[in-house]
Amino acid sequence: MSGAFYLSSYLVSIIMFVVYVGILGLLIIRTSLSKTFFSKVVPAGISFGMLSYVVLQALNSLELPFMDTQGIIHVIFVGPFQEEVVKFAFFLLALRFATGLSARKKPSQADFDLKTSVLLGGLLGLALAFLENLIDYGYLTATNTLLRTLLSWPFHILPAMLSALGFRKFQATDRISILLVPLSSAILIHAVYNTLLFFT
């Protein structure tokens, strides 16, 4: 395939990445935290989201001798659990980097509000999806790349936001169920999406 072919696919991914960041930014642009969002949250979400992709690829490589990473067991069961747990772990690191919050520290009035934390999770999921598009699906046509950004990316973003919401609620209440239910829901959403893709 020609360089122009790949360039058009990459360009679509980059444009859509900027669009998604803009949409997430619009949710907070009129608040007092908008400056912090673009100076700390966006860099942290993007950086740790891309790192999570690297870790997931390493895990997939380690699993290859034991299972087919494109097979039904991995796609529907192992993959969703693995990805959402890794994204959640990197969300905790991103939250610490962007806010100074540790996993044990309860949020205070001076900390990021709940919305900002949820958006941080969304950015992390977006960055992972973006890198996945460039590396794993760079062979797609520009049209199919656009479709993938519209259909697949939300299923990377929304589960990560749900897990982030669960963690910040857990910080405020110390109730483990408040954390486990959203995280489990994120894994289930991802599994349902993968199932639909696998059988279509």
pLDDT values of the chain reduced to their tens digit, one per residue, 200 residues: 555 666 799 999 999 999 999 998 887 766 656 677 778 889 999 999 999 999 999 999 999 888 998 999 999 999 999 999 999 999 999 998 887 655 555 555 445 678 888 999 999 999 999 999 999 998 999 999 999 999 999 999 999 999 999 998 898 888 899 999 999 999 999 999 999 999 98
What is the number of other CB atoms lying within 10 angstroms of the CB of residue 20? 21
Q: Give the count of domains, the chain.
A: 1
Say if CB 45 and CB 124 are below 8 A apart.
yes
DSSP SS3 for 86:
helix
Say if CB 185 and CB 169 are below 8 A apart.
no
- pLDDT score at 27: 79
- pLDDT score at 34: 66
Cβ burial of 137 (10 Å; 0-12, 13-18, 19+) is middle
- pLDDT score at 200: 83
Counting every residue written for the chain, the total comes to 200
- pLDDT score at 33: 62
- pLDDT score at 109: 42
pTM: 0.91
What are the DSSP calls for 133-194, one per residue? HHHHSTTS-HHHHHHHHHHTTHHHHHHHHHHHHHHHHHHHH--HHHHHHHHHHHHHHHHHHH
Residue 147 domain boundaries: 3-198
Say if CB 118 and CB 165 are below 8 A apart.
yes
- pLDDT score at 58: 97
